[in-house]
Amino acid sequence: MKITKIICIISILFLSPLSNASFIYDESVDGDMGAAAGASPVWELTVGTNSIIGNLTQGDIDDFRVIASNGLEITGGTFEALFNGSGFGFYNSSGIPVVGGGIFQGTIAEDTLVEIDSFSSGLFRTDRDSADSDITYRYDFHVVDPNAVPSPSNFAFLLIAATGLTVRKVLKKSSQH
């Protein structure tokens, strides 16, 4: 029994999620982006979750373009907006589909959460329009390398898990005799 518990503990350590945030732009730290700041930035996304966090103030429009680095795939993502005022803002993109069909566009008249389907590149715009208070928003884009080989830690986890199952089976058989 002790061996099984030790193997479980080791497996949990290998399974502990590590933050895989490869790119984060936070407007409150990095400065205004988009139309008001001049040319729209273009960001090349890398493997992991790439987050872009912004805040729309009066008259603010944020534009940015994202593309996947060579050989990588953007498998989708989410758009979330927090807004508790009246009036509305807008979100849209250059033809990016949303989960369930349709194009990524809509009105921000309350807290909003939208899932985004996979795409290769796109221009995104978030606009406060007639909202009477600031709108905070966040884009999370998930990027993978379709040609990646498992990391050594993932391989080690699989090896430990297989060993644990084998030991458990052997111990179970020996306790039945």
Q: What rounded mean pLDDT belongs to the chain?
A: 83
Rounded to 5 degrees, what are φ and ψ at 158?
-60, -40
Q: Report how many domains make up the chain.
A: 1
The pLDDT tens digits of the residues spanning 113-135 come to 999 999 999 999 999 999 999 99
Domain containing 59 equals 20-149
Q: How many CB atoms lie within 10 A of CB 70?
A: 6
Note the helical H segments in 74-130. Answer: none
Nearest to 57 by CA among 120, 131, 111, 119: 131
Q: Is residue 5 part of a domain?
A: no
The pLDDT tens digits of the residues spanning 150-163 come to 666 655 655 676 67
Residue 71 maps to which CATH number?
A: 2.60.120
Q: Is residue 7 part of a domain?
A: no
Q: Is residue 172 part of a domain?
A: no
N-to-C CA span, the chain: 16
Residue given tokens 């008249």 in the structure block: 109
